[in-house]
Amino acid sequence: MKVGIVGLGLMGGSLAKALKKYSIASKIFGFVKNKEEEKEILELGLVDELLSFEELKSRVDILILAIPVKAIISYMQDLRDIDKINENLTIIDLGSTKEEIILKIPKNIRKNFVAAHPMAGTENFGPSAAIDNLYEGNTVVLCNLEDNSKIHKDKALKLFQQIGMRIVQMDAKSHDIHASYISHLPHAISFSLANTVMNHENPKEIIALAVGGFKDMSRIAKSSANMWSDVFFQNKKNLLKALDEFEKNLKNLKELVKNDKEDELKELMKKANSLHNIL
């Protein structure tokens, strides 16, 4: 089986590593729009060969779109003809939001196009961010599989199973609501926390005093601005609702502290503690 990957940063590069580790693909081809990254990708050995996008879609059995959501939607227009070029080509996107992607898939390739979101990642980006074992043991959400033909659904399921992922099936609308709370809201909070501290503290004092909780909470503020601004706008409605609810909880905590309501504050904290009985 030959696999092509568009985008060879954290997600695409780590997937290439996993495909090699488990000997899933006979050949791994890649395509990147940023020509400056090509040398680095080849030096890291992420793919066997870099091709043009036109070559890629005609030479592989599975095409992975490991790029931001806006770019995924844009590339769909260049995939309209694959039912004529290679009707057995399975397309899998790894976008962080799903509903907008599914709505924009051209009808003639809907059966080929598997909408997936691997719930894995780090705060790093670019080809050098690719790591071993990013996917193993983590969950991948596959959306609206009922719209895929059996051959493409089976190929996607097999690929994610072979790299050690747990598979959850969900409709795209539900996925985007859940992702806004579990993934997108934490990033929004982390970016805001980092800016709050940077606007108040001397950089030298941040370095001297920032340990533990601050480091944990601000880690994901190092994430790609291009990628996460795209995610926020693609899931704008759900993220704004999640932010509204977070603001209410933060305001409640603020009022408890302001009014010296120690017992109520402790109860609020204990309720939050119970989250880790679930995780």
CA pair distance 31, 19, nearest whole angstrom: 16
pLDDT the model gives residue 103? 95
Q: Which residues contact 208 (CB under 8 A, 6 or more apart)?
A: none
Concatenating the DSSP letter of every residue in 10-60 gives HHHHHHHHHHHHTT--SEEEEE-S-GGGHHHHHHHT--SEE--HHHHHHH-
How many C-alpha atoms does 13 have within 13 Å on its Cβ side? Answer: 24
Q: Specify whether the CB–CB gap between 187 and 223 falls below 8 A.
A: yes
Tens of pLDDT, residue by residue over 140-167, are: 999 999 999 999 999 999 999 999 999 9
Query: For 95-110, what is the mean pLDDT?
Result: 94
Question: Could you give the percent of the chain with pLDDT greater than 90?
Answer: 76
Write the CA distances from 261 to 109, 246, 251, integer angstroms.
59, 20, 14
Confidence band (pLDDT; 50, 70, 90) for 261?
Answer: very high
pTM score of the predicted model: 0.87
Task: From 134, 240, 142, select the one nearest 184 (Cα to Cα).
Answer: 240
Q: Is the pLDDT of residue 86 over 90?
A: no
CA pair distance 21, 15, nearest whole angstrom: 10
pLDDT the model gives residue 212? 73
CA pair distance 89, 170, nearest whole angstrom: 23
Q: Domain limits of the chain?
A: 2-170, 175-278
Structure tokens at 193: 């926390």
Q: What mean pLDDT value characterizes the chain?
A: 92
- Going along 147-241, which residue ranges are E strands? 166-170
Confidence band (pLDDT; 50, 70, 90) for 83?
Answer: low
Query: For 6-22, what is the mean pLDDT?
Result: 95
Structure tokens at 265: 């504050």
Q: Is the pLDDT of residue 244 over 90?
A: yes
What is the CATH T-level fold of the domain 2-170, as seen in this structure?
A: Rossmann fold (3.40.50)
Pick the CATH number of 175-278 from 1.10.3720.10, 1.10.760.10, 1.10.3660.10, 2.40.70.10: 1.10.3660.10
Chain centre distance of CA 181: 14
**Beta-strand relationship, 113-119 and 62-65:** unpaired
Query: For 79-85, what is the mean pLDDT?
Result: 76
